[in-house]
Chains A and B, each alone.
Chain A
Amino acid sequence: MMFNSNRVRTTEKIENQFNIVRTILAIAIALGIAFLLIMTVSETPLADFWTLLSGPLENRNSMITIISKAIPLLFTAIAISLVYSAGQFNIGAEGAFFAGSVAATAVAILPNIPTIIYIPLSLLAGAVVGAIVMGIPAVLYTRYNSVTIVTSLMMNYVALYAGLYVILNPLRDQAAGFEGSYAFQATAKLPSVFTNRLHIGLFIAILVVMFAYFLLNKTTFGYRILAVGNNPKFANYSGIKVNKNIILVTLLAGLIAGLGGSVEVLGNYNRFMYTDFTNHGWDGMMISVLCRNNPKYIIVGALFIAYLQTSADTLNFTSSIPPEVINVVQAIIIIFVAANEFLKRWEHKKIVENSQKSLAIGEIN
């Protein structure tokens, strides 16, 4: 029996609307608190707050900066949303991103590789190493039932320090005068697009987002990922190999995070110069939470976070406001978005009203 649902909304529609309201309200509250913080340190709070809101829009350069900052975030956010879709709290994207950039560096500085395969080989190396970093916790979980959030957190440090060791020893360019690797071969660098501050990584990132969306919604593998993530008992009962699919999706996520690391270094730098975590993995987690692990929203989410970070930089140049204000804003947003009970009473009231409306016009439940 199907009911005509034109006149009344379905409960799910209301739930979706509330998710959007929750997100917008979270952002508003966070900005409100940011304003209070700015008041405590600034003599011109209104002007500074305005810079925070609109700074990046004032010139073309900042807009390019936003896009440039969003590129790596797309990779990590997609990686995280894939593992979260499978119900795995694997937070290894940070380490996978870092290790991926190291592996890409190792290939990109090699002399005498045929020109055309420089880029593909470097990217591949980064992706494979990223898959290993994120994949190990998944194997440990499926084999020994270890706690993924802990093992993946630890793997991040393994990736960081192992990566730094490689960069600062075999790959270190003593002549550089600072801690960095040898310079990349010119043919290993990603070609620029539109301006010399953007590179083809932009297109790779967009392709990755589209691929993830297609994978989750239109393929049998995506079906398996969501079944495992929503209810592993049901997946197992249906004949889906739960552990195998957890490992596969985690490896894929690691590939994407590692690829992101490779794209980032080969697109923006002449040599490897990181000395610590880049925070792209953590930011990717935040975006994934903000977008409820749905690739459909991730481009907007990544641009939003990139926007905030760009305004923080602008503020840093033009005022005495520390850029950390933006970290506070981000944290508050996440707290409210992740707080399921936030606005629950209001949502309940709306759903009740809607149901009463549908009762009144004689549609039964």
Chain B
Amino acid sequence: MNSYLEKIEQLPIGNEILSMKNITKIYSNGFVANENVNFSLNKGEIHGLVGENGAGKTTLMKVLFGIEEPEEGHIELANETVKIENPLNALEYGVGMVHQHFMLVESLTVAENMALGHEPTKFIKFDKAKAIENVRYVEKKYGLAVNPEAKVRDLSVGYKQRVEILKMLLHGARILLLDEPTALLTPQETEELFKQLINLKNEGYSIVFISHKLNEVKAICDRVTVLRNGKSITTVNIGEVNETDISNLMVGKEMDLNIIKQSAKPGDTVLKVRNLFDYNDFGQQVLKDVSFDLRAGEILGVAAIEGNGQSELAENLVGIRTIKEGQIHVKNELINNLTIREIRDLNVSIVHEDRMNTSASLNQSVRENLISDRYDTKEYSNRGILDTTKVNSLALDLIKEYGVKTHNEKASVRTLSGGNIQKVVAAREFSSFPDLLVVSQPTRGIDVGAADLIRRKIIQLRDDIKTAIILFSADLTELISLSDSLIVLYEGELVAYFPDSLVVDEFILGEYMLGIKKQTDEERRGVIYDV
């Protein structure tokens, strides 16, 4: 144990263990992620770090973990200035980070993963027995059960996260940085995680908890620091604020978190899915006999834990995946053999879940991203030649209407923040007044302001254009409040249908999503109106 770790150990609970002073970090694309940020952490506290997407939370933690080098500012650990050069170095100072996307090698076992970076050796050989012994030791010490010999690829998301946390503890972390740890967890798994975090806290560990879910921050944190536009706005004791207060601090203005919408007035069936089956590249069944209808002016939510067929369903609906078995009709036209272009020509809009690689082209300009679905229509081109004047004015109008923060329409999309990229995508897909909108994870990882705008636009489409909307979202609060009716997928099968989303809550959905419950055939058949 080095001197820093000893000092941390000896520090009384409640004293300041870590302080980041005037941190400024500017990325090579010119994006100012942190500007004079101050952050302080006490021993034995869970400290919430909140802010809109692009506010600089993750960057601040990357600076602390030695992944990013700040342009200005310094870090004090137990009142001594330290320079954290890289993650291994960070761990020597007792700082461990659990990333939003796990840094685990899928094909290795739990013990092998946990040993990475500090592999025990016997002569020159990897000492597997010792690695397993190490895992058993920390597993017992912290009461977090894992099987050291299980392969990581076979584990659930919650389990993998446990492995990540244990890994950091094994390598000596006394300060844990958790970047959106609950983003991919079910409500049940989240509860489990919270119990573990509170245990750690009681043992004198300090935890930074980054989250977009303010109810969780409220539930588990002692203090919360709010970042906005790369600046630290304030740090408050959690008892002094409620969720609305935090949200207002984040966006800097009064914001209504509630989604206000009238009840739906559904029209004719727009989307008809019958007996849809699908298989992945390994021949495993990913969709099993899925049938449902979606009517004009209605929002149908699809609830499922990641990997239960929802991504494949969304891609089947729009032609990105070829339909292998079953039929899909859009406005009474069979789309099984249509190309994406032909399906889009039926007035179908698509917001894909993969914003960075599919819905947007990062190296192209905002303008080019805004016209990808209509550049070759009569309105914007004539005999193969683009009407640059019209294209430019469309781009400027959409930038204004959706409040996209960009230098100008010619800026590369990669220079925008996540929320603004999603606004570009939404601006394009929503502005064609679609009859059918297939929208996946519309607000994942983006700020409250952008999320609110996008949600309001979705409801506007439903009411003004009578768009039929199928919504895939991992954010159950959003899914329940935005949708009119809901279906649940479990292992590729439609296991539940709720005609009225108001009667369900996250825990009821969770039980169906985890496969604990399943509705009768009778109940599920309700989702087929157009027999």
Q: What is A's interface to B at a CB cutoff of 8 Å?
A: 1-3, 5, 10-12, 14, 218-221, 223, 226-227, 230-231, 233-241, 344, 347-348, 351-352, 354-356, 359, 364-365
Given A5-B407, A233-B358, A355-B26, do A239 and B344 touch, yes or no (CB 8 Å)? Answer: yes
Contact status A227-B30, CB under 8 Å: no
Q: Write out the residue numbers on chain B whose beta carbons fall within 8 Å of the beta carbon of A233.
A: 354, 357-358
Q: How many residue pairs between the two chains, A and B, have CB atoms under 8 Å in the bound complex?
A: 120
CB-CB nearest in chain B for A223:
B375
User: Interface 1/0s, chain B 14-48, versus A by CB < 8 A?
Assistant: 00000000001010111110010000000000000
User: Interface 1/0s, chain B 376-395, versus A by CB < 8 A?
Assistant: 10000100111010000000
Question: Cβ of B337 < 8 Å from any Cβ of A?
Answer: no
- Complex: how many Å from CA A153 to CA B165? 50
Contact status B411-A10, CB under 8 Å: yes
Contact status A234-B408, CB under 8 Å: no
- Complex: how many Å from CA A5 to CA B363? 20
| Best-surrounded residue of B26, B31, B339, B357 (most CB of chain A within 10 A) | B26
User: Interface 1/0s, chain B 310-351, versus A by CB < 8 A?
Assistant: 000000000010000000000000000001110111000010
Interface size class of B (residues with CB under 8 A): 35 or more
Question: Cβ of B364 < 8 Å from any Cβ of A?
Answer: yes
- Complex: how many Å from CA A359 to CA B36? 11
Given A234-B358, A234-B361, do A220 and B29 touch, yes or no (CB 8 Å)? Answer: no
Question: Cβ of B198 < 8 Å from any Cβ of A?
Answer: no
- Complex: how many Å from CA A231 to CA B365? 12
Contact status B359-A219, CB under 8 Å: no
Q: Write out the residue numbers on chain B whose beta carbons fall within 8 Å of the beta carbon of A218.
A: 385-386, 388
Given A223-B368, A230-B364, A236-B320, do A1 and B30 touch, yes or no (CB 8 Å)? Answer: no
Q: Write out the residue numbers on chain B whose beta carbons fall within 8 Å of the beta carbon of A1.
A: 403-405
Question: Cβ of B481 < 8 Å from any Cβ of A?
Answer: no
Question: Cβ of B360 < 8 Å from any Cβ of A?
Answer: yes
Min Cβ gap A231→B in Å is: 4
Min Cβ gap B52→A in Å is: 13
Question: Cβ of B415 < 8 Å from any Cβ of A?
Answer: yes
Considering only residues 475-509 of chain B, those with a C-beta below 8 Å from chain A are none
Min Cβ gap A356→B in Å is: 7
Considering only residues 431-471 of chain B, those with a C-beta below 8 Å from chain A are none
Given A12-B412, A231-B361, A238-B372, do A359 and B35 touch, yes or no (CB 8 Å)? Answer: yes
Contact status A237-B359, CB under 8 Å: yes
Question: Cβ of B373 < 8 Å from any Cβ of A?
Answer: yes
Q: Write out the residue numbers on chain A whose beta carbons fall within 8 Å of the beta carbon of B354.
A: 233
Contact status A227-B372, CB under 8 Å: yes
- Complex: how many Å from CA A310 to CA B412? 39
CB-CB nearest in chain A for B382:
A220
- Complex: how many Å from CA A10 to CA B354? 27
Q: Write out the residue numbers on chain B whose beta carbons fall within 8 Å of the beta carbon of A364.
A: 229, 405
| Best-surrounded residue of A14, A227, A235, A237 (most CB of chain B within 10 A) | A237
Min Cβ gap B124→A in Å is: 34
Q: Write out the residue numbers on chain B whose beta carbons fall within 8 Å of the beta carbon of A241.
A: 339, 341
Given A11-B29, A219-B386, A359-B35, do A352 and B71 touch, yes or no (CB 8 Å)? Answer: yes
> Which of A3, A227, A347, A359 makes the CB contact (< 8 A) with B368?
A227
Contact status A355-B385, CB under 8 Å: no
Given A237-B340, A365-B31, do A12 and B415 touch, yes or no (CB 8 Å)? Answer: yes
Q: Write out the residue numbers on chain B whose beta carbons fall within 8 Å of the beta carbon of A240.
A: 341, 372
Q: Write out the residue numbers on chain B whose beta carbons fall within 8 Å of the beta carbon of A237.
A: 320, 340, 350, 352, 358-359
CB-CB nearest in chain A for B372:
A238
Can you name 5 extra interface pairs (CB under 8 A) apart from A230-B363, A234-B360? A11-B30, A14-B30, A223-B368, A238-B372, A355-B30
